[in-house]
Structure 1
Amino acid sequence: MIINLARRAHNHNWELDPITRSLLDTDFYKLLMLQFIWKWFPNTRASFSLINRSSQVRLAEIINMHELREQLEHTRKLRFHKSELIWLAGNTFYGQRSIFEPAFLDWLEHSFRLSDYELSQRDGQIVLNFEGRWTETTLWEIYALTQVSELKTRASLKNLSEFELDILYARAKTRLWEKMARLRGVPRLSVSDFGTRRRHSFLWQEYVVKAMSDVLGESFKGTSNTYLAYKHDLEAIGTNAHELPMALAALANSEEELRASQYRLLDLWQQTYQGELLVLLPDTYGTTQFLEHAPDWVADWTGQRADSKDPFLAGDEYIAWLEKRGRDPRKKLFIASDALDVDSILALHAYFSGVILNGHAPNSFRSASDFLDETKWKPDRRIRFSAGWGTLLTNDFRDCNPRHHDGFDPLSLVCKMNDVDGRPTVKLSDNFEKSLGPPEELERYRRVFGTDGVARMPLIA
């Protein structure tokens, strides 16, 4: 599939090109979580808000608010197509069929609707809120993020001539190729596209995913974007996110219930998916405390995803915890997904997959040839490692603008839950910079969960 991205951008009638083309154009974990919410919390209400953590960028002065409203209105009118529901019903995900219940798919077809929204601007920032039943608001997260991100892209593209657009995309394609060339042929490599939420554009993400599939072959495990998995016959990747433990914690009625809520979620999740999709996301209130107090059965889960702690530290901590609990780490999966790029992917792969570093820093592994020297391999890998490659895969246009202006740098943009049934939600994270919630609630949660293992690290998109 070859797309002339520059000509498409130059000649576009943007109003006729909606950003969200299908309700499947979302991360796969959102659909898995939606089924969980539909099953256990069908009448719970929730609200979400867009947050621009790159606050120095005044988004409301860049993005046309009328265009954003048009995109949101278009998305509200979308419905799941019959062919999409047939694919969800009949496809095999993670080796399992019938992962979606027939009653849930029937509800998606006949009853599912997105909630209304409130859109305004304040102090140069977009104010975008969603409120309603949790089942009606949760999917807005990815749609809102992709629409704001792409409208920012489109605003910057309008400033360039067709020739300048050619240069922009030629530079981005060259950078993408250079990254893939360093990964191609690396033994045991496992990498997936996690870049939907802050992508440059839908067309660019599709281009990137196809390129990754063609160049990396079996090392490319799939994409978190359900629509691209559906359209291009790829594996849909994902399990769950911080939203679920945030909600269950907010619904707790005592400090004891609050501490236990992170494990109650796991119990409900494994009931929902019959013992499948068992990847831990332990950092909502701090990974260290989560592992320390976890019931023993939690160690039987398949693996863990690290999303806010230094992944080298997080992986070592998980391995030590598994060994302490009498489990073999080599049979488990460790996924890193926070601000990865090719250097960190190679370094983490080397560190966890059995490469002898010979006194060199992990990031000294620069290309596939470094991994092909068998003298650098240990007899056994420490743990199965997989990289969830996000923003710097699908939106790395840094310094690609021929006018040398900013405008294409990715933002640290999130759309997070505010409350459930009127109770404020909190996220502590392993990174102080990623914490969310009212100050008094943050203080209360830190009193309950502590701050062991929590650090302060810069935010990278």
Structure 2
Amino acid sequence: MVDIATRVYNHKWKIDPIVRSLIDTDFYKLLMCQSVFRNRPDTQVTFSLINRSRDVPLARLIDEGELREQLDHVRSLSLTRGESTWLRGNTFYGKRQMFRPDFMEFLENLRLPPYHLERKGDQYELTFEGRWPEVMLWEIPALAILMELRSRAVLGEMGRFELQVLYARAMTRIWEKIQNLRHLDRLRIADFGTRRRHSFLWQDWCVQAMIEGLGNRFTGTSNCLIAMRRDIEAIGTNAHELPMVYAALADTDDELRQAPYRVLADWHEEHDGNLRVILPDTYGTKGFLDGAPDWLAGWTGVRIDSGDPATGAETAIRWWQERGEDPRQKLIIFSDGLDVEQINTLYTQFQDRVKVSFGWGTLLTNDFRGLVAGDGLAPFSLVCKAVAANGRPTVKLSDNPAKATGPDDEIARYRRVFGVGDQVSQQVIV
């Protein structure tokens, strides 16, 4: 096992790559990229970094030259032969050849497009523009780079023994969390922590700890590179990006209202089984489900990613019941800012009513809260979102208005079109 503290202490060479592979990304990005490559390949998009935690001054913590070096390194990456073989030949979700030959040819020849970086006060403005299938693959590496450079800025001031003690404490914390989940006999939990991880090595360590500590209750990781190296399942379906861009391309209010369902109609043509999971909260869960076509009720499950998770689950259960479906045969994936206490509570509340699964993210792979003076390693809320499509702004409403993104006038329009009423704002932890 890698001695992480020593590796951190020995970061002396000019560039120690934070992102070391094009498949050091989340599995759902590749699934969505294939869908976009098939259905909307020429759509022009802009992605932008959004730091929701404005009290974290990234431009003061992270050297611009080092940031550019890391971003430039990602632009030099391409699929290795082994990575291509794994993607072409491996079985994902019980299906061989998940990725079509034409998409694999595109991916094997891909180099990520240019970026635009500018300092604005204490923050960085980082944007990516171009064809959607190419630009979308910047999201995860960009976030991973910013998160790890921030960690390195804090760790660089620590000595060898300080680092050994820090990581020993962090490892103890994670292991205690894992022990706290062992009594949940029917637990199904995956690592969703790539985008806001402490570092690649730390995420890999956390995955190994989950494998040993939870056995077959640990279902896999969203990170493709770790899944390949550790010979475990790559986990993921789809994200808010798809309905956000489809909605931005709509010409009328009626087309806008139908955009989230068009996304899933395209997805329905490509995937079955456990890949047919609805993410309903982009423009409000209740309104989405109330207007959903009947065929969506036959899908495998729902992912709850904002708002009060218990409320979201109850809404999904009622919807299935109203559509004549048995909720006990359906899957609910909880994935919003989870930690052990909430996982235990939700498991107990819903385990006998639905099939329950958890995507454990930042508080698995980046929980260093209180371990250094000033809490300088505490996780913070950093996202990289599609902000425009073919020159039109994108909007996300969410079930938590604190997560809404887009111009104010467009947010107001979307709330009207999707019939979003009063919402309860909740603190965005990660």
TM superposition shift of 1:12: 1.6
CA shift digits 1:77-111 (9 cap, x unpaired): 1001121111111111111112110111112113x
Distance 1:166 1:276 in 2: 41
Of 122, 125, 144, which aligns to 1:124? 122
1:445 matched to 2:414: yes
Q: Among 338, 353, 362, which residue is 1:382 paired with?
A: 353
Task: Work out the number of aligned pairs and report it.
Answer: 430
Distance in 2 (CA, whole Å) between partners of 1:113 and 1:245 is 25
Deviation at 1:16, TM superposition (A): 3.7
Indicate if the aligned counterparts of 1:286 and 1:453 stay in contact, CA closer than 8 A: no
Say whether the 8 Å CA contact 1:340–1:389 is kept in structure 2.
yes
Partner SS for 1:139: helix
Q: Aligned with 1:138: secondary structure? A: helix
Superposed CA deviations along residues 144-168 of structure 1, whole A, max 9, x for unmatched, are: 0000000000010011111111111
Q: How does 1:206-221 map to 2 (within 5 A)?
A: 206-221=204-219
Q: Letter of the aligned partner of 1:392 in structure 2?
A: L
One-letter identity of the residue aligned with 1:399: G
Which string of whole-angstrom CA distances, capped at 9 and with x for unpartnered residues, describes residues 347-366 of structure 1?
A: 1111111xxxxxxxxxxxxx
Shift of 1:22: 0.4
The AA in structure 2 aligned to 1:177 is: W
* Corresponding position of 2:292: 294
Asked if the contact 1:19/1:146 (under 8 Å) is kept, the reply is yes
Amino acid at match of 1:397: F
Distance in 1 of aligned mates of 2:44 and 2:338:
34
SS at 2:423's partner residue? Answer: coil
1:45-88 deviation line (CA, Å, top 9, x unaligned)? 10000011000111100001110100000000100112111111
Equivalence map 1:53-452=2 (5 Å): 53-110=52-109, 112-273=110-271, 277-353=275-351, 381-401=352-372, 404-452=373-421
Greater mean alpha carbon deviation, residues 93-102 or residues 8-17? 8-17
Instruction: Name the SS of the counterpart of 2:17 in structure 1.
Output: coil
Amino acid at match of 1:117: Y
Residue 276 of structure 1: how far off its partner (Å): 6.0
| Pair 1:33-2:32 in alignment | yes
Identity of aligned pairs, percent? 54
Q: What TM-score does the superposition give when structure 2 sets the normalisation length?
A: 0.98
Whichever residue aligns with residue 178 of structure 2, its letter is M
For 2:423 and 2:80, how far apart are their aligned partners in 1?
Answer: 44
C-alpha contact 1:52 1:412 (8 A) present in aligned 2: yes
RMSD: 1.1
For the 8 Å contact 2:415–2:421, the answer to whether it is kept is no
Q: Secondary structure at the match of 1:73?
A: helix
Residue 428 of structure 2 aligns with which residue?
459
Deviates more, 1:200-209 or 1:6-15: 6-15
Equivalent position amino acid for 1:414 in 2? V
Q: SS state of the match for residue 388, structure 2?
A: strand
Give the match's secondary structure for 1:156. Answer: helix
Residues 242 and 95 from structure 1, CA distance in 2 versus in 1: closer, same or farther, beyond 3 angstroms? Answer: same
Query: Post-superposition, which runs of at least 4 consecutive aligned residues in structure 1 deviate over 3 A?
Result: none
In structure 2, the gaps of 5 or more residues are none
Alignment deviations for residues 385-443 of structure 1 (CA, whole Å, 9 cap, x no partner):
00100000000000112xx2221011100000111111110000000000000111111
Deviation at 1:8, TM superposition (A): 1.3
Do the aligned residues in 2 keep the contact of 1:130 with 1:140 (CA within 8 Å)? yes
Q: Could you tell me how far 1:25 is from its partner in structure 2?
A: 0.3
Gapped runs of 5+ residues in structure 1? 354-380
